[in-house]
Structure 1
């Protein structure tokens, strides 16, 4: 292999440390930070921090001060500005993640509502079909009334048959000169 072979890339001699963090991990951290910044503990902590800073650099002798009042607390201003410049994007990132979660949840809710509506419509159609089918099915009361009517007809037919049979037997006895022939 030639030294001047440009088709093969050279390996890098200098290795930089790689700090790979997944976007999900970073997003969870941003949400935790934004959540903490909205708590009373953070507000009380920042108030105590600033009060101690201001008192230290105002009341103590100048040899002990690290951010003198004569320079308008430049270091405190820088620290608070840096904190605000990092806090704003992290809060926005947390809000964006929350919005994305809400959007996904809304989509799931919409799909669930569509399925519920379809199921309800299906069940309504099934109930309507059952009602129509039940109109054509003979009910217990209808069958009882029909059986009673048939029973009456049979009894009437039997009584008529008995009368008819009685009349036929008398006339045949009279023709034969039976006991009642007179």
Structure 2
């Protein structure tokens, strides 16, 4: 008796959702942004003075041709209000509005990304500024522990006075270890 093997293909409803094959095969998308770039280019072109001039010339030529052109060649009658021209302009307007909205949405997305990058850059600048401020404070504190010019001058004068006394006896001179530090003398500046 032949044993049936279970259906291991993941096309059934018994497979997890992520493993099911779709009913409608999907085409691999090579460049999702291409459509957005095309719509932006069209919307950008529609917003130029040249587009308005071209559209105006198209409408004027259409109306002149269908009014004064040879009777056999006319295809849109002025008597019925240039119906074909009206339909063409309506079609153009019905596509122009969504294209402009798509371009505006893409610009909003770019602005949102730019805003996020600016916010992150501002946070990094703030962190760098705070770090530098802490470093400046640490340097100021370290400088306060250093000997000031007045302290060094006083020490040099004391040594010169000892040399001028002519003791000649260096053993009686106080050693550098026994001299008071700038903090002990009170001349930290």
- The TM tier, using the shorter chain, reads 0.7 to 0.9
**Residues of 1 paired with 2:54 and 2:28: CA distance?**
31
Equivalent residue in structure 1 for 2:111, among 84, 87, 102: 102
Contact 1:34 1:94 (C-alpha < 8 Å) held by counterparts? yes
Aligned length: 146
Within-5 A mapping of 1:81-92:
81-92=90-101
Alignment partner, residue 111 of structure 1 = 120
Q: TM-score, normalised by structure 1?
A: 0.72
**Residues of 2 paired with 1:21 and 1:71: CA distance?**
48
Within-5 A mapping of 1:1-182:
22-156=31-165, 158=167
**Residues of 2 paired with 1:149 and 1:42: CA distance?**
91
CA RMSD of aligned residues (A): 2.4
Report deviation, 1:19: 10
Q: Secondary structure at the match of 1:158?
A: coil
Unaligned runs of 5+ in 1: 1-6, 10-17, 162-182
Deviations 1:131-154 (A, max 9, x none): 111010114553233122232134
Alignment partner, residue 178 of structure 1 = none
Alignment partner, residue 12 of structure 1 = none
Structure 1 residues 143 and 20, CA gap change in structure 2 (3 angstroms) = closer
Report deviation, 1:112: 0.3
Alignment partner, residue 177 of structure 1 = none
Report deviation, 1:79: 0.5
Q: TM-score, normalised by structure 2?
A: 0.70
Q: Which has the larger radius of gyration?
A: 1
**Residues of 1 paired with 2:109 and 2:135: CA distance?**
39
Structure 1 residues 70 and 21, CA gap change in structure 2 (3 angstroms) = farther
Deviations 1:1-33 (A, max 9, x none): xxxxxx788xxxxxxxx7967431000000000
Structure 1 residues 116 and 19, CA gap change in structure 2 (3 angstroms) = closer
Report deviation, 1:61: 3.5
Unaligned runs of 5+ in 2: 1-6, 12-26, 170-189
Moved more, 63-72 or 145-154: 145-154
Structure (1 or 2) with the greater helix fraction: 1
